């Protein structure tokens, strides 16, 4: 029996284009959701003494977006000498993740409570309010693809 050569050629230009489009659209959705959460958290701020925690709420995108320095400066203006947590941006650089939250050292007890203080959440309700719109936006991106 004679030997036969078979070849298969995959033209992946369409797949690359689709992947690039999905990635860009998903980055946009993550960025919009992150800044919506930040805005909401500042609209219903934590209990205000000096405003440092509210002013320290910021977005850190893993592609470099967001402005920790501006938030830290605003927190220090509201409460000179306030202890701030270091900026801890998410890893990677694809723009598909973000950290949103305050950078004052006492923000966690405000959000979650402590032994002598009830929880007064401000970040969790902001995150929960964005869950539905974020999920719907991601769903629409994949349906259009």
| Terminal Cα-to-Cα distance of the chain (whole angstroms) | 46
Q: What share of the chain is helix, strand, coil (3-state, %, to 5)?
A: 50, 10, 40
Mean pLDDT for all residues in the chain: 81
Domain ranges in the chain? 21-144
Nearest to 30 by CA among 42, 18, 22: 22
| 39-60 average pLDDT score | 82
Q: Considering the entire predicted model, what is its pTM? A: 0.75
18/50: higher pLDDT = 50
| 112-138 average pLDDT score | 92
- Residue 93: pLDDT band (50, 70, 90) is low
| 93-118 average pLDDT score | 86
Q: Strand, coil or helix: what is 84? A: strand
92/24: higher pLDDT = 24
């Amino acid at each position: 029996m004679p030997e036969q050569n078979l070849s298969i050629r995959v033209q992946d230009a369409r797949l690359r284009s689709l992947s690039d489009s999905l990635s860009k659209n998903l980055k946009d959705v993550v960025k919009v959701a992150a800044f919506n959460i930040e805005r909401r958290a500042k609209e219903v701020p934590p209990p205000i003494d000096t405003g440092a925690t509210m002013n320290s709420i910021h977005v850190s995108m893993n592609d470099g977006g967001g402005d920790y320095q501006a938030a830290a400066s605003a927190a220090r203006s509201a409460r000179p000498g306030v202890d701030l947590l270091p900026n801890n941006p998410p890893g990677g650089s694809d723009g598909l993740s973000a950290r949103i939250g305050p950078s004052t050292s006492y923000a966690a007890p405000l959000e979650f409570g402590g032994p002598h203080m009830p929880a007064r959440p401000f970040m969790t309700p902001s995150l929960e309010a964005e869950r539905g719109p974020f999920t719907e936006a991601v769903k629409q991106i994949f349906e259009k693809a």
